[in-house]
A and B are shown apart, each in its own frame.
Chain A
């Protein structure tokens, strides 16, 4: 398959892995954070840890929008959708994410009108087809998905579709990276920058990470070769004592971003003064809301929102895992109380969450290795 197989070519991968081993040497340990949940998923899916030398440690970052969404927001959205006239529409990613009374899928099984959509415009289509209903699109995602939500709201306005609204949970990536860097227990050498987000925001917004924080960052694609090449580029910078923003994902990411997408976001959204992130707490100016010009299409202004706050159980150590202080399996709840079927913490809910990815793809392998060691 074109545009995929070229980036999984075994010979190139082993050559790149060889180069990584050469650059990494053995003298020191490298800690690199992949910011994006898509990268976390790819690392496990392609088994990249098996390829990287032991002194390169990948730390899973905060870039999984489902994971960082507080449970109270899900409860708020589902509370609105309790009304029999409301259709709750969301991406498949959201469907198994638990609220206090269960996930959207569980609510659907109990009779709530819950629809899986593949884009916000599909939710708008639902509104056109069901004029007697109120369609609420439960929007999640970083700058990757925010522009399509913005364009859909603009279209609803221009077409005068009034039975459509957006429950906006869009968040922005830069404040999350800043929160990680500001954390006192942060020990990172470099960043693998998010690929999809950067197609929209470009590479400039990361310059402060290189200039002020002196951390190299390489924006990377999602195939095995992309990610290994990003590691090579980071190692070269680190060995040379440099800190630059580099773009490995040039075939998709323009340095200046996508201006049309950014314009649509600026037209429809405004920054919230602060927003709660699961595992990271409140971060100022880190999320978007629908601005007053489009208030009619804002679910939070159209409906009564209970404003539920749910704190994660104290034993869940999501924050530490998110900041890379702990590995998923070092959390007290991992694999016992907290599993993909019954997630307690944020990172176990989406397959892009580091705990869920680790659980699905890795933890029994780790158990196997330790049992082998015990035998030999």
Chain B
């Protein structure tokens, strides 16, 4: 999501949680006096909230790395589970709408956890006064997106709040998925020399939303990239399954935030080659004008993968041959230094550290 409140809470290790009695919670480290918008923006503040408050109370003392979905065992059957809330303004934008995002977002969280989405449940929070045609359009969009992704919407719930207490409609989807064979996602398995892959151009979604809000007098021929990335993930797993160490769909906070989280989780350096990172000219242009970094802009239809070097060629070939994957690229590699950090290098020999975003990306004018 490109904007507004949401913080990922899925724990990749929640099987081990819920140990200890009620008053033996792990210590809470979250000290902010109130919730600010930045806590939902997917960057540093979000991570502080999840790691400092949610994880100690909900996932136990050592929740491990926080992934996009959790794997749980039920009577010996292993399933992946995740949830995601969608609050986007405007509801419709070039290339998609909140309904499609709600389906694809959860399908993608499962996909990059190495699982195929099998069923979704959906809850709507609706603002009284919402015109029925708007709701109908979004429900249709969800049905269509679910069909395209091959996932069933199995159950749901609706709440209506007073006019003014919500912004038109919010959608939450939760999904369960079947883990694919032959792939294990764990940031701690990442090694020096591994390659960093990106499935296609970054920033399309975030810049589309920014322009669709109409606050900027900028127009561009640009569409959100919202789509299910499962077909690409499946092709990648088939070609390079044993070599895949980690995957993530870089939504809010962008590729920089996902890679910073990985760098912190594995303690290694993520070195990116700036000229290899696919970015459309329109996105680059908007970012140049507004003082933004494409690496901080949200995506809804791309994913990052870290693959061991011997599988890198097979991985990139498989992605490029799969429908919608022709722009996939190796964008960098894992090195010992700078440990815990993302470093971008340029063709002319300069380099810079790219940090997580503190809150939402804000245009610079003066």
Contacts and interface: CB of A to CB of B under 8 A. Distances in A.
Interface of A: 1, 4, 8, 10, 13-14, 17, 41, 44-51, 65-66, 91-93, 95-96, 105-106, 108-110, 116-119, 122, 140-142, 144-145, 224, 340-341, 350-352, 360-365, 367-368, 371-372
Contacts of A364: 338, 340-341, 353
Contacts of A45: 352
Interface stretch (B120-128, B235-243, B357-365): B357-365
A313 B217 CA distance: 40
A44 B358 contact: no
In the A-B complex, list the 6 residue pairs whose CB atoms are closest, starting with the nearest: A47-B350, A92-B362, A141-B366, A13-B348, A368-B338, A10-B347
A365 B350 contact: no
Interface of B: 34-38, 44-45, 215-217, 269, 281, 284-285, 288, 291, 337-341, 343, 345-355, 358-359, 362-366
20 contacts: A1-B288, A10-B348, A14-B348, A14-B349, A65-B366, A91-B365, A91-B366, A93-B362, A105-B38, A140-B366, A340-B358, A341-B44, A341-B358, A351-B291, A360-B355, A362-B353, A367-B338, A368-B337, A371-B337, A372-B337
B45 to A, nearest CB: 8
B351 A365 contact: yes
A371 B338 CA distance: 10
B282 to A, nearest CB: 9
Given A1-B288, A362-B352, 17 more contacts: A1-B284, A1-B285, A8-B348, A46-B352, A47-B349, A48-B350, A92-B363, A93-B365, A109-B36, A117-B215, A224-B348, A351-B291, A351-B364, A361-B352, A364-B340, A365-B353, A368-B338
Nearest to A170: B366
A118 B216 contact: yes
Contacts of A47: 345-346, 349-352
A72 B45 CA distance: 26
Give the one of B34, B350, B353 with max A CB within 10 A: B350
Contacts of A145: 365-366
Given A44-B352, A224-B350, A92 B365 contact: yes
A50 B349 contact: yes
Given A1-B284, A10-B347, A96 B359 contact: yes
A51 B363 contact: no
Given A1-B285, A140-B366, A361-B353, A109 B358 contact: no
Nearest to A110: B34
Given A91-B365, A95-B362, A51 B338 contact: no
A44 to B, nearest CB: 6
B38 A66 contact: no
Nearest to B281: A1
Nearest to A3: B288
Contacts of B35: 109
Nearest to A8: B348
Contacts of B348: 8, 10, 13-14, 17, 51, 224
Contacts of A117: 215
A1 B281 CA distance: 6
B350 A118 contact: no
B343 A116 contact: no
B364 A105 contact: no
Given A10-B348, A96-B358, A118 B365 contact: yes
A65 B364 CA distance: 12
A224 B349 CA distance: 11
Contacts of A13: 348-349
Given A105-B359, A364-B338, A46 B366 contact: no
Contacts of A51: 348-350
Contacts of A140: 366
Contacts of B216: 118
Contact of B366 (A49, A144, A360): A144
Contacts of A365: 338, 341, 343, 351, 353
A369 to B, nearest CB: 9
A108 B362 CA distance: 15
Nearest to B280: A1
A3 B35 CA distance: 42
A35 to B, nearest CB: 14
B257 to A, nearest CB: 13
B88 to A, nearest CB: 17
A254 B363 CA distance: 27
Given A1-B284, A51-B350, A340-B358, A109 B37 contact: yes
A109 B5 CA distance: 11
A117 to B, nearest CB: 8
B340 to A, nearest CB: 8
A145 B364 CA distance: 12
A41 B291 CA distance: 10
Nearest to A12: B348
Nearest to A103: B36
A96 B361 CA distance: 11
A14 B349 CA distance: 8
Contacts of A362: 352-353
Contacts of A1: 281, 284-285, 288
Contacts of B285: 1
A1 B280 CA distance: 10
Contact of B364 (A17, A93, A360): A93
Contacts of B358: 96, 340-341
